[in-house]
Chain A
Amino acid sequence: MTADTLLKRAERLSERSGLSITTISRKLLNDGKGLERIRNGGGMTQKTLDQATERLDALEVAETPRAKELLSPEAMTHLDRLEAEAIHIMREVVAEVENPVMLYSIGKDSAVMLHLALKAFYPAKPPFPLLHVDTTYKFRQMIEFRDALPERLGVDLRVWKNEEGIAKGVNPFTHGSAVHTDIMKTQALKQALSHYKFDAAFGGARRDEEKSRAKERIFSFRTADHRWDPKNQRPELWNIYNTRTAPGESTRVFPISNWTELDVWQYIARENIDMVPLYFAGVRPVVERDGTLIMVDDDRMPLHPGEKPMEKMVRFRTLGCYPLTGAVESSADTLPKIIEEMLLSRSSERQGRVIDHDQSASMEKKKQEGYF
């Protein structure tokens, strides 16, 4: 970045946030007159520039000018409309369904969903619990992040593990990704929903993720044995949602159906939403298997002969079970950098998930069988 770009960005931030150039200058350069000098052609060292750039990154994220923006009767942006739609959907569920739950996967889509729930019911807390289906092979940082939630946000968090699966020692290494996912995730989810008698479950799935999801309703009906019938979906018109189910049946509700990956990231940046650190680049121990970088997150991971964890600067585009989630080499350690990388890499996000590679129509099959 040049001094010129820095100045341009600072001016834009000033316009957007209402902070004066002098204030911004002081925050970036410890000198209220610094930006003024740059404007008049003054130079600076590369080190100063780098430091100022870093501070500007942080400042831009911190200065989310929401309230101010909403005060002026401007047209709603696409993010505003998506946000309003999601809030409407959540309120509809809470008003009409007896025992709803929010499936919380700890990933970025869940983070957005949770944030939307905090908004939808403010000043009340979200009037439903969060449910995390713990396969016992999630990244440790995910679990730390999850366990801090109740205190940080005042939400009711429930964790479900398939104890049968644990007793049988099901794991992704000896049983393979398909069996592990089925027993520890799909079956566990069904157990939890049946156990708590949840009759509606929010999920963070998006229609842009995968083709069969593009056709799924926002309120997606499930039979008593949790199956989805793509041929027999309820018509869904306007924003009038049919929430009715018979005892035992349930509904999966996807409030962020109409969001894209870019929308999600942009919203995280705009709203300053806390994320699991794994999304940001950091030095982590990984091994390379079948062209995929797998992080050695704990000592349960058996190393192949000759395999030795390498310390690499990596991050994750999607989060799941650590042995099944590919890392990408990256230096993106801020939100703008992550978005930049995403835009440049042009590779859709589910590619990092080993389970989807099985076959082209695999997701549709999984969904019919009760995968979320």
Chain B
Amino acid sequence: MDGSVFNEGDDIHEYLAQHEKKDMLRFLTCGSVDDGKSTLIGRLLHDAKSIFDDQLETLGSDSKKFGTQGGEIDFALLVDGLAAEREQGITIDVAYRFFSTDKRKFIVADTPGHEQYTRNMATGASTADLAIILIDARHGVLPQTKRHSFICSLLGIRNVVVAINKMDIVDFREDKFRAIEEDYREFARQLDFETIVCMPLSALKGDNILTKSEKTPWYDGSALLPYLETVKTERKDGQPFRMPVQWVNRPNLDFRGFAGTVVSGEVRPGDEVVILPSGKRTKVARIVTREGDLAFADKNRAVTLTLEDEVDASRGDVIAAAGSPAEQAGQLQAKIIWMDEEEMLPGRQYILKSNNRMIPAQITDLKHRIDVNTLEHLSGKTLKLNEIGECNLSLTQRLVFDPYQDNKAMGSFILIDRLTNTTVGVGMIDYALRRSKNVHWQALEVDKEARRKLTGQKSAMLWFTGLSGSGKSTVANLVEKRLHDLGKLTYVMDGDNIRHGLNRDLGFTDADRVENVRRVGEAAKLMVDAGVITLVSFISPFANERRAVRERMEDGEFIEVYVSTPLEVAEQRDVKGLYKKARKGEIKNFTGIDSPYEPPVSPEIDIDTSEVAAEKAAEMIVEYLDRNGYLG
């Protein structure tokens, strides 16, 4: 049997059996005006015998009337649908085409090549597994080529075919092809493609479409259709199970099912799941279908789940694998493509619709626009039709999501205008912003990183060392106040206070001083692990012990603040009257008097409070933290 074609005398049962096992590939074609996109699709439909004879007849008569091929069959006419565009001779919207071979069913999204129609291309790309990017062999890589490639990459397409078309016009010259291929690959290095396959084609003449052309003996790759029939785009991505609840099925009091489409991973009865955002845990009882219960359901399957416990779940909730729940946030960063004539207004409330949930949301900040031709970041206050930007969004409720990069279905949303109800923009979530909560339900998963996300800060230990009366505690307290005002979670461990409690059994011998610092170091380390910015204000005279604490921490978690106020100044201040007592011999082993102080060799921060006011010093330290990313 020859491909999809069914001939007289073939066995229909065999044909049907074969065709029932086919899988499906969705791809889109994109290219500039006149690259021959519609011709290529027409050619594929024709060569795969998907055109019925009556359509071919209409095509013949239409070709004479509207055709651009001088009376020859103009395949483009088969694809260009609407009456208006026939007259203009261009495609203006997304059109979907279908054809089949014995291996696959294909859904083709045909999208226009005009600059002003980015939104249509993004529409076609959003459901495509693969993109064919057309390049006119005479013109090579154009700005439009780059734009289309960028949009494909942005929308998460990982496999592209670069169809270098109209090779017949350049006499099938290899050097032309190679030069364009090299150009394209160089450009595409900035993009997120996994496979790029370049093919020399003539859609008009049919070269390298169905079979390898004799005119390109130098080309050692596959022809287009055989490639499309075999390419694997669905990678085993190992994403955990997610099913947004679409509809709660309650035909009677005895049945409560949660209907939805599995968007990633797989599910079996008995699997432990968590309902988000509530965090309730339960197990899957049954996977119900009209044909009987299933033992298994995987990605893209539309099912109805029943759960073992009477847990509350409603539309918009997500049922997720208990071991790896999705994130939740009310503040997000996302890339947004604007799709409306009326420009995006930061601060205006739109309706965000994502995996079955609608939440009022506003764009709080346009961080920058992205030039689709150069991929450069541009500043801007608003997005116009077809512009793309990175934005911060603030939602009135928390959204359950995964980053788009990991999970398209869980990371995508549309923005709807409240007044006109039109879809004005679409977005792809990058990550949650700091004020939002990243809830992890698995005990083991709540680690330092998780806590840091919760507080939106990088916890660390600020270790103030210096002589008694140097101003450590004063500065530490001022720093804490400032951090607190910034919404940071902090804690000050002060030498004197700790000696009243945790370390009250310790004296001031060298051994006790070592143990004193060790205990404080351990306690502070726990605080850092808890996500707290911890300020330790301890004389800690010995370099060795300070180094030991530093070495128990991860890089960047130990910030040594040397309060280098000279002894004379400290002694002069003598706030607690200790120097006096030490000089009188009433206190033994007093640092700086009869016990040594080993100054740090290269502290992160060095402050001499005899030269810098305490407020100024505190400001410097906060600045340091901010500059180095500790404050989120």
| A95-B247, A240-B353, A360-B58 known; A211+B81 contact, CB < 8 A | yes
Task: Decide if A77 touches B251 in the complex (CB within 8 Å).
Answer: no
Total A-B contacts with CB atoms under 8 angstroms apart: 209
Residue among A70, A81, A245 with the most chain B CB within 10 A?
A70
Residues in B neighbouring A364, C-beta threshold 8 A: 81-83
Let me know if B479 is at the binding interface, CB within 8 A.
Answer: no
- Tell me whether A214 and B356 are in contact in the complex, defined as CB-CB below 8 angstroms, given that A95-B315, A237-B122, A260-B100 are known contacts: no
A91 proximal to B (CB < 8 A): yes
- Is A347's CB under 8 angstroms from B296's CB? no
Whether A121 is near chain B, meaning CB under 8 Å from some CB there, is: yes
A118-B290, A343-B6, A346-B53 known; 10 new pairs, CB 8 Å cut-off, are A71-B296, A87-B261, A120-B259, A123-B290, A235-B426, A237-B122, A238-B127, A238-B412, A240-B354, A258-B98
How close is B101's CB to chain A, nearest CB, in angstroms?
11
4 shortest A-B CB distances, which residue pairs?
A211-B81, A343-B6, A124-B251, A87-B302
Inter-subunit contact B246/A92 (CB<8 Å):
yes
A344→B294 CA distance, assembly (Å)? 37
* Choice from B261, B294, B412 contacting A84 with Cβ under 8 Å: B261
- A74 → chain B, closest Cβ, in Å? 9
Q: Collect the chain A residues with CB atoms within 8 Å of residue B377's CB.
A: none
- Chain B residue contacts of A83, Cβ below 8 A: 302
The answer to whether A120 and B302 touch across the interface, beta carbons within 8 angstroms, is yes
Contact for B291 among A66, A80, A84, A263, CB less than 8 A: A66
Q: Which residue of the partner chain, among B14, B17, B123, B246, contacts A95 with CB atoms under 8 Å?
A: B246
Given A70-B289, A123-B251, A262-B100, are A347 and B20 neighbors across the interface (CB < 8 Å)?
no
Can you list 29 A-B pairs, Cβ within 8 angstroms, ordered by A?
A5-B11, A70-B296, A73-B266, A75-B234, A76-B300, A76-B301, A78-B24, A81-B24, A84-B301, A87-B302, A91-B247, A94-B247, A122-B290, A123-B251, A124-B249, A207-B98, A212-B82, A235-B414, A237-B122, A240-B413, A242-B353, A246-B421, A336-B13, A339-B12, A340-B15, A344-B6, A347-B52, A361-B83, A364-B81
Q: Are A233 and B93 within 8 A (Cβ)?
A: yes
Assess the A257–B96 pair: CB atoms within 8 A.
yes
Residues of A within 8 A of B107 (CB): 258
B:233-251 near A, CB below 8 Å: 234, 246-247, 249-251
Contact A242 B421 (CB under 8 A): yes
Point out residues on B near A: beta carbons under 8 Å: 6-8, 11-17, 19-24, 52-55, 58, 62, 80-84, 86, 92-98, 100, 104-105, 107, 119-120, 122-123, 126-127, 234, 246-247, 249-251, 255, 257, 259-261, 266, 288-292, 294-296, 298, 300-302, 304, 315, 339, 351, 353-356, 408-409, 412-414, 416, 421-423, 426
| Contacting residues, chain B, for A60 (C-beta < 8 A) | 13
Task: Decide yes or no: A347 and B53 within 8 Å by CB, A77-B22, A260-B98 being known contacts.
Answer: yes
Of A60, A234, A270, most B-chain CB atoms within 10 Å: A234
Residue of B nearest to A234 (CB): B423
What's the Cα separation between A183 and B104 when bound, in Å? Answer: 42
Set A81, A236, A237, A337: member contacting B300, Cβ < 8 A: A81
Query: In the complex, A365→B83 CA distance in Å?
Result: 9
Q: Which residues of chain A come closer than 8 Å to B62, judged between CB atoms?
A: 360
Q: A76-B301, A119-B290, A237-B122 are in contact. Are A92 and B356 (CB under 8 A)?
A: yes
Interface residues of A in 325-372 (CB under 8 A from B): 336-337, 339-340, 343-344, 346-348, 351, 360-361, 364-365
When distances are taken between beta carbons in the complex, the residues of chain A under 8 Å from B353 are 240, 242
- In the complex with contacts A77-B22, A270-B20, A344-B414 CB distance below 8 A: no
Interface residues of A in 58-111 (CB under 8 A from B): 60, 66-67, 70-73, 75-85, 87-88, 91-92, 94-95
* Bound form: Cα–Cα A12–B213 in Å: 38
Residues of B near A78 (CB, < 8 A) are 22-24, 104-105
Residue of A nearest to B13 (CB): A9
* A residues less than 8 Å from B413 (CB atoms): 240
Contacts of B105 in A (CB 8 A): 78, 260, 263
- Neighbouring B residues of A5 by C-beta, 8 Å: 11
Which residues of A are found within 8 Å of B246, using beta-carbon distances?
Answer: 88, 91-92, 95
Interface of B is mostly: mixed
Report the bound CA distance from A122 to B14 in whole Å.
32
Minimum Cβ distance to chain B for residue A255 (Å)? 11
How far, in whole Å, are A246 and B416 apart by their CA atoms in the complex? 13
Cβ contact of A122, chosen from B19, B96, B304, cutoff 8 A: B304
Residue of B nearest to A122 (CB): B290
Given contacts A214-B96, A215-B82, A336-B12, whether A266 and B19 have CB atoms under 8 Å apart is yes
Q: Which residue of B lies closest to A270 (CB)?
A: B20
- Asked whether, in the complex, the Cβ of B247 is within 8 Å of the Cβ of A207, the reply is no
Residue of B11, B83, B96, B249 near A121 (CB, 8 A) is B249
Q: Is A230 at the interface (CB under 8 A from chain B)?
A: yes
**Which of B259, B298, B300 is within 8 Å of A91, CB to CB?**
B259
Known contacts A78-B105, A207-B98: A212-B81 contact under CB 8 Å: yes
Give the distance in Å from the alpha carbon of A208 to the alpha carbon of B50 in the complex: 10
Question: Are A71 and B294 closer than 8 Å at their CB atoms?
Answer: yes
Shortest A23–chain B CB gap in Å is 19
Please tell me if the beta carbons of A91 and B302 are within 8 angstroms of each other in the complex: yes
Q: Which of A84, A240, A246, A348 contacts B55 (CB 8 A)?
A: A348
The number of residues on chain A lying at the interface, defined by a beta carbon within 8 Å of a beta carbon of chain B, is: 78
How far, in angstroms, from A15 to B14 measured CA to CA in the complex?
Answer: 14
CA distance A67 to B107 in the complex (A): 27
A194 to chain B, nearest CB (A): 20
Q: How far is the CA of A140 from the CA of B120 in the complex (A)?
A: 45
Q: Is the CB of B93 within 8 A of A336?
A: no
Closest-CB distance, B155 to chain A (whole angstroms): 8
A325 to chain B, nearest CB (A): 17
| Nearest A-chain residue to B99, judged by Cβ | A260
A280 to chain B: closest CB distance in Å?
15
Check A300 for interface membership: any CB of B closer than 8 A. Answer: no
**Which residues of chain B have C-beta atoms less than 8 A from A233's C-beta?**
93
Pair B81/A214 contact, Cβ less than 8 Å: yes
Residues A240 and B414 in contact, CB atoms below 8 Å apart: yes
Chain A residues within an 8 Å CB radius of B249 = 121, 123-124
A175 at interface, CB cutoff 8 A: no
Q: Are B298 and A73 in contact (CB under 8 A)?
A: yes
- Please report the C-alpha to C-alpha distance between residue A30 and residue B80 in the assembled complex, in whole angstroms: 57
Chain A residue at minimal CB-CB distance from B56: A346
Cβ contact within 8 Å between A266 and B16: yes
In the complex, which residues of chain A have a beta carbon less than 8 angstroms from the beta carbon of B122?
235, 237
A242 close to B261 (CB less than 8 A): no
Q: Give min CB distance, A83 to chain B, whole Å.
A: 7
On chain A, the residues within 8 Å of B290 by CB distance are: 118-119, 122-123
Please name all residues of chain B whose beta carbon is closer than 8 Å to the beta carbon of A237 when the two chains form the complex: 122-123, 126-127, 412, 414, 426
Q: Kindly state the separation between the CA atoms of A235 and B290 in the bound complex, as whole angstroms.
A: 33
Q: Which of A246-289 contact B (CB under 8 A)?
A: 246, 257-258, 260, 262-263, 266, 269-270
B16 interface neighbour in A121, A239, A269, Cβ under 8 Å: A269
Which residues of B lie under 8 Å from residue A70 when comparing CB positions? 289, 291, 294, 296
Query: When chains A and B are docked, how far (Å) is the Cα of A128 from the Cα of B257?
Result: 18
Neighbouring B residues of A361 by C-beta, 8 Å: 83, 86
Contact A71 B295 (CB under 8 A): yes
Q: Is the CB of A238 within 8 A of B126?
A: yes
Among residues of A, the one whose C-beta sits closest to the C-beta of B425 is A235
CA A244 – CA B339 in complex, angstroms?
A: 17
| B-side contacts of A263, CB under 8 Å | 105
Q: Which of B24, B84, B97, B123 is the one whose CB lies under 8 Å from A235?
A: B123
Within 8 A of B (CB), among A213-249: 214-215, 230-231, 233-240, 242, 244-246
Whether B301 lies near A235 (C-beta < 8 A) is no
**Whole-angstrom CA separation of A79 from B23 in the bound complex:** 8
- Complex Cα spacing A143 to B301, Å: 35
On chain A, the residues within 8 Å of B22 by CB distance are 77-78
Residue of A nearest to B15 (CB): A343
For A76, A214, A364, the residue with the greatest tally of chain B CB atoms inside 10 Å of its CB is A214
Smallest beta-carbon distance B570→chain A, Å: 65
CA of A182 to CA of B411, assembled, Å: 45
